[in-house]
Chain A
């Protein structure tokens, strides 16, 4: 493999890896605070993409209840992105309120909460399909305004073109990662959240309103999911199920990094993104199996993941 091709694959891997990383962070935040995997996360990722698509004035197709509908407004992409992600965040809060909190109140088995989140995922995906149909939609090409279609990271003789959408994904993801790391480690909110994650009963004895922090965590994680969904969706195309597939990859990412570990989710995201980018073109059909193969091997060799804490079961 010559150096330009290597560089191109490497940069593309970094870009998709950064999207995996912020998406997996949402899983991790909820896992660290509730000890469960939120399978609705992938569905909210899809929902965010559809919200953003609708807000930039994208039209919907011929099937579904909202056939041929389009919003009268056409927001610029950046604004639609933030607004769409915020809407996704509110959906996340509603999911917490109606599908998670009742189970938490009853002290149900955590596997039941996982099943409930699967139910939510089924509802969201099918509501989307019911409203706007199962066909895929592509974001218009001009959403980035004056940005060129691709950036050249090489020299003039040996060009390494990277699509500008990939550059945008990488920049936004790194910004989100930086803000979140700051938020969790350096602010009062983050400290309180860590306390709730460690032991919610003790945290509430210390005057922390656990429920409020859980709601905030759901909002943040769903907001990020919506953001990741809109960005990834604008680089490929959106279908009602595309988030579920992405969500399953996200599982591979968090297990690889270590469940509940924030640096682990970031590391896992980049590792999976890069490994996928270097799957030879001849075997590209097997690309989707790579992440799951890594996941399976990792669970067998080191279930706590690269950076996770090992739990010892005590009687």
Chain B
């Protein structure tokens, strides 16, 4: 078991972080708004943690104190939340593809700014971000509770007034407006919650990856998070969690399949090489196939409902 964690510790932490990034994109989608802004807030949260831990909270101890890490997460969440409100209020007047494009523009502007500022280290980025833990797997002490809290939060959210309002806006914004729900308020709320979560995850990731640069918040990242949500399932919070975990692990899984030492299978060299180097081709094909054959995603609310209906009969 120790050997397993030593080998796959990194990957397990990334899977948990991936699940949360999926959730951060899922939140605005709960109100039917396709926002691709998560990577921007993720990058911003990471920069906040990286700058604070390398320039402000300088400690002599070999391990970075965990309370300071929690403080950084708090600050990152707060700053991203504020920026989320500031960007959200004007941007969420837009719908559908217009909103998606506006958020792409937001991510790109943030990326170019971080490439050019001195404080963010320019194109090189920030190096040597201090580690709060001895090994990678110990990051689970922070990441797993955060994931559980977010999942519980979303579980409750989907069942209270606010979540019902989100769903009403997703199904028909005009009808929701006519029923006395203020669509702008709830859309900005959902967008801001997603921004806060992405910022907090960014703060953890900056420590976890040890280095942070402008390649963290890009258009490519937007596509990958979107895949988490849409293939995982966009109608229940379990979809993005599962999608985030599976799709983060997928490249490693393909690499493992191609490795005869792990599976014992001796695949033809061409196929083994394709599984290793062509991972992203498979990723892209899965997106296309998924949208055509599983438009609701793999995890749908019906999965849980169907059993109940059968019992009634």
- Interface residues of chain A, those whose CB is within 8 Å of chain B, are 36-37, 98-99, 102-103, 106, 108-116, 118-127, 129-130, 244, 248, 251-252, 255, 259, 285-286, 288-289, 292-293, 295-296, 299-300, 303, 313, 315
**Distance (whole angstroms) from the CB of B295 to the closest CB of chain A:** 6
**Distance (whole angstroms) from the CB of B224 to the closest CB of chain A:** 9
5 tightest A-B CB contacts, nearest first: A119-B287, A122-B284, A123-B284, A289-B112, A119-B288
What residues of chain A lie closer than 8 Å to B288, measured between beta carbons?
98-99, 116, 119-120, 123
Let me know if B281 and A295 touch, CB within 8 A: no
What residues of chain B lie closer than 8 Å to A124, measured between beta carbons?
284
**Distance (whole angstroms) from the CB of A106 to the closest CB of chain B:** 7
- Whether, in the assembled complex, B94 has its beta carbon less than 8 Å from a beta carbon of chain A, the answer is yes
**Distance (whole angstroms) from the CB of B123 to the closest CB of chain A:** 9
Interface stretch of the complex, out of B8-16, B102-110, B190-198, B202-210: B102-110
A295: nearest chain-B partner, CB-CB: B105
- Of A122, A286, A296, the residue contacting B223 (CB under 8 A) is A122
- Of B100, B109, B174, B220, the residue contacting A315 (CB under 8 A) is B174
Sample (21) of A-B pairs whose CB atoms are under 8 Å apart:
A37-B101, A108-B291, A111-B34, A116-B292, A119-B284, A119-B286, A122-B281, A122-B283, A124-B284, A127-B281, A129-B280, A244-B219, A244-B220, A251-B104, A252-B105, A255-B101, A259-B97, A292-B109, A303-B94, A303-B98, A315-B174
**Distance (whole angstroms) from the CB of A104 to the closest CB of chain B:** 11
Let me know if B104 and A299 touch, CB within 8 A: no
What residues of chain A lie closer than 8 Å to B201, measured between beta carbons?
none
Cα–Cα, bound, A248→B91 (Å): 18
Let me know if B101 and A120 touch, CB within 8 A: no
Known: A288-B108, A295-B102. A122 touches B278 (CB 8 A): no
Taking CB atoms and an 8 Å cut-off, the chain B residues in 277-299 that contact chain A are: 277-278, 280-281, 283-288, 290-292, 295
- Of B112, B287, B292, the residue contacting A102 (CB under 8 A) is B292
- Of A111, A114, A115, A300, the residue contacting B91 (CB under 8 A) is A300
Cα–Cα, bound, A110→B109 (Å): 26
Let me know if A289 and B96 touch, CB within 8 A: no
Cα–Cα, bound, A49→B151 (Å): 46
Cα–Cα, bound, A125→B223 (Å): 13
Let me know if A130 and B101 touch, CB within 8 A: no
Let me know if A109 and B295 touch, CB within 8 A: yes
Cα–Cα, bound, A121→B224 (Å): 12
- Whether, in the assembled complex, B90 has its beta carbon less than 8 Å from a beta carbon of chain A, the answer is yes
- Of B94, B108, B223, B286, the residue contacting A289 (CB under 8 A) is B108
Most buried by B among A125, A295, A315: A295
Tally of A-B Cβ pairs under 8 angstroms: 128
Taking CB atoms and an 8 Å cut-off, the chain B residues in 231-289 that contact chain A are: 274, 277-278, 280-281, 283-288
Let me know if A115 and B230 touch, CB within 8 A: yes
A130: nearest chain-B partner, CB-CB: B278
What residues of chain B lie closer than 8 Å to A118, measured between beta carbons?
223, 226, 287
Cα–Cα, bound, A313→B116 (Å): 41
Most buried by A among B102, B108, B277: B108
**Distance (whole angstroms) from the CB of B66 to the closest CB of chain A:** 36
Let me know if B281 and A299 touch, CB within 8 A: no
What residues of chain A lie closer than 8 Å to B113, measured between beta carbons?
286, 289
Cα–Cα, bound, A106→B34 (Å): 21
**Distance (whole angstroms) from the CB of B284 to the closest CB of chain A:** 3
Let me know if A112 and B106 touch, CB within 8 A: no
What residues of chain A lie closer than 8 Å to B223, measured between beta carbons?
118, 121-122
Let me know if A296 and B106 touch, CB within 8 A: yes
Cα–Cα, bound, A103→B289 (Å): 10
Let me know if A296 and B292 touch, CB within 8 A: no
- Whether, in the assembled complex, B146 has its beta carbon less than 8 Å from a beta carbon of chain A, the answer is no
Let me know if B284 and A299 touch, CB within 8 A: no
Let me know if A130 and B295 touch, CB within 8 A: no
- Of B97, B106, B290, the residue contacting A37 (CB under 8 A) is B97
- Whether, in the assembled complex, B115 has its beta carbon less than 8 Å from a beta carbon of chain A, the answer is yes
Most buried by B among A115, A120, A123, A295: A115
B229: nearest chain-A partner, CB-CB: A115
What residues of chain B lie closer than 8 Å to A36, measured between beta carbons?
97
What residues of chain A lie closer than 8 Å to B283, measured between beta carbons?
122, 126
A43: nearest chain-B partner, CB-CB: B284
What residues of chain A lie closer than 8 Å to B98, measured between beta carbons?
255, 259, 299, 303
B77-97 vs A, Cβ < 8 Å mask (1 yes, 0 no): 000000000000011011011
What residues of chain A lie closer than 8 Å to B93, measured between beta carbons?
300, 303
What residues of chain A lie closer than 8 Å to B295, measured between beta carbons?
106, 108-109, 112
Let me know if A115 and B284 touch, CB within 8 A: no
Let me know if A122 and B34 touch, CB within 8 A: no
Let me know if B287 and A116 touch, CB within 8 A: yes
What residues of chain B lie closer than 8 Å to A121, measured between beta carbons?
223, 284
Cα–Cα, bound, A251→B283 (Å): 24
Most buried by A among B94, B101, B226: B101
**Distance (whole angstroms) from the CB of B117 to the closest CB of chain A:** 10
- Of B101, B115, B230, the residue contacting A251 (CB under 8 A) is B101
What residues of chain A lie closer than 8 Å to B102, measured between beta carbons?
295-296, 299-300
**Distance (whole angstroms) from the CB of B277 to the closest CB of chain A:** 6
Let me know if B109 and A112 touch, CB within 8 A: no
**Distance (whole angstroms) from the CB of B134 to the closest CB of chain A:** 35
- Of B97, B100, B101, B291, the residue contacting A119 (CB under 8 A) is B291
A112: nearest chain-B partner, CB-CB: B291
Known: A112-B295, A122-B287, A126-B281. A292 touches B105 (CB 8 A): yes
A116: nearest chain-B partner, CB-CB: B291
Most buried by A among B90, B108, B283, B288: B288
